[in-house]
């Protein structure tokens, strides 16, 4: 397996393209937006520059990695002659079903179709195709070039052979694959999202402030990042989407999203990507920090 296509040039998509290309694969990065492709390639180049500066890779490794990536706005052209497609589009079930139905029609019958979904049923996604045995979950963690874990999720009909192929492939990328069952939220988000939601509930009920909640978890539980800061990093809209999937999937009130989270997403306060969430990431706030550092 040498030819890979990645659908979506956003945070996860460009990270996935990065690790495949750095491992010597030929990668077709596909997005309907030329602007998103340019931004995604810029992010990959910046991340590689950081690795060069740190001495973890040589300048020639950076050049080779970038040369291994081709960009496409047309899906049909981008998935020609590939052996694996990894979908990393927005966490929206209708969109994913549409993409997989299209991929099933555009790719060779033996092509494996993987999704980077963080919570949506692999079995349901596979049902949109005529190759359920070749559809699998390949859930990378953010930031993809750094985080070692890949959750490998078998749908109801995913074959043992395809699962082994993707497990072995993940190791080739320098990742550590962990096979989990196909239930809402899988394992990572099944455990993480209730913790984040409970942290938001704690804030909502006035028991402590944002920084205090994060400090307790960082200093008391040795978490590298507090849960509210992590929620900003993931995206509050993504957190809400995952909680809704688990709530609908299990019909258990413990997964019901906190009203504060619902309101923040409705108000467009999505975290780092919108410039404000539980913390302020706006340009003016950054300027204040820079100014303070020179005083």
Place of tokens 């963690």: 141
**Residue 110 within any structural domain of the chain:** yes
Confirm if 167 and 139 have CB atoms less than 8 A apart: no
What per-residue confidence (pLDDT) applies to 31? 97
13 annotated as ligand-binding: yes
- Catalytic: 18? no
Q: Does 127 share its domain with 109?
A: yes
Q: Does 217 share its domain with 258?
A: yes
- Catalytic: 189? yes
* Active-site option among 116, 118, 121, 197: 118
CA 287 to CA 295: how far, in whole Å? 13
Place of tokens 């196909």: 182
Mean pLDDT by 10 residues, the chain (295 residues): 96 97 98 97 97 95 98 97 96 95 98 96 98 98 96 97 98 98 95 98 98 98 97 96 95 97 98 96 57 32
Confirm if 279 and 232 have CB atoms less than 8 A apart: yes
CA 187 to CA 181: how far, in whole Å? 8
Q: Domain range for residue 206? A: 189-288
* DSSP structural state of residue 208: S
What per-residue confidence (pLDDT) applies to 288? 45
31 annotated as ligand-binding: yes
10 annotated as ligand-binding: yes
What per-residue confidence (pLDDT) applies to 285? 58
Q: Which of 133, 145, 139 is nearest to 120 (CA)?
A: 139
Q: Does 42 share its domain with 107?
A: yes
What per-residue confidence (pLDDT) applies to 286? 52
119 annotated as ligand-binding: no
CA 10 to CA 40: how far, in whole Å? 6
CA 211 to CA 281: how far, in whole Å? 15
- Catalytic: 139? yes
What per-residue confidence (pLDDT) applies to 282? 87
* Active-site option among 189, 197, 199, 241: 189
Q: Does 125 share its domain with 221?
A: no
Q: Does 205 share its domain with 144?
A: no
**Residue 294 within any structural domain of the chain:** no
269 annotated as ligand-binding: no
The number of distinct structural domains making up the chain is 2
Q: Does 197 share its domain with 164?
A: no
Q: Does 81 share its domain with 201?
A: no
Q: Does 105 share its domain with 24?
A: yes
Q: Does 17 share its domain with 93?
A: yes
What is the Cβ-side half-sphere exposure of residue 233, based on CA atoms within 13 angstroms? Answer: 11
51 annotated as ligand-binding: no
Q: Does 141 share its domain with 249?
A: no
Q: Does 17 share its domain with 125?
A: yes
């Amino acid at each position: 397996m040498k030819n890979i296509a990645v659908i979506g040039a956003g945070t996860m998509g460009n990270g996935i393209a990065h690790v495949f290309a750095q491992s010597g694969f030929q990668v077709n990065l596909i997005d309907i937006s030329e602007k998103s492709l340019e931004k995604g390639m810029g992010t990959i180049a910046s991340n590689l520059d950081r690795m060069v500066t740190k001495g973890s890779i040589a300048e020639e490794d950076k050049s080779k990695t970038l040369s291994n990536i081709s960009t496409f706005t047309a899906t049909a052209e981008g998935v020609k002659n590939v052996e694996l497609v990894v979908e990393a589009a927005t966490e929206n079930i209708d969109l994913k079903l549409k993409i997989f139905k299209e991929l099933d029609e555009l790719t060779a019958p033996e092509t494996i179709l993987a999704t980077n979904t963080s919570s949506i049923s692999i079995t349901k996604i596979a049902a949109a195709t005529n190759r359920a045995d070749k559809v699998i979950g390949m859930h990378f963690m953010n930031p993809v070039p750094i985080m070692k874990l890949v959750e490998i999720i078998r749908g109801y009909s995913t074959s043992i052979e395809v699962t082994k192929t993707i497990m072995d492939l993940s190791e080739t990328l320098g990742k550590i694959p962990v096979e989990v069952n196909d239930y809402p939220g899988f394992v990572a988000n099944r455990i993480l999202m209730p913790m984040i939601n409970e942290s938001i509930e704690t804030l909502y009920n006035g028991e402590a402030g944002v920084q205090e909640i994060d400090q307790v978890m960082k200093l008391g539980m040795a978490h590298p990042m507090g849960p509210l800061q992590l929620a900003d990093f993931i995206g509050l809209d993504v957190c809400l989407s995952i909680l809704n999937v688990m709530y609908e999937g299990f019909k258990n009130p413990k997964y019901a999203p906190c009203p504060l989270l619902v309101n923040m997403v409705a108000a467009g306060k999505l975290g780092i990507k919108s410039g404000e969430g539980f913390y302020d990431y706006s340009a003016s706030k950054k300027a204040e920090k820079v100014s303070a550092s020179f005083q």
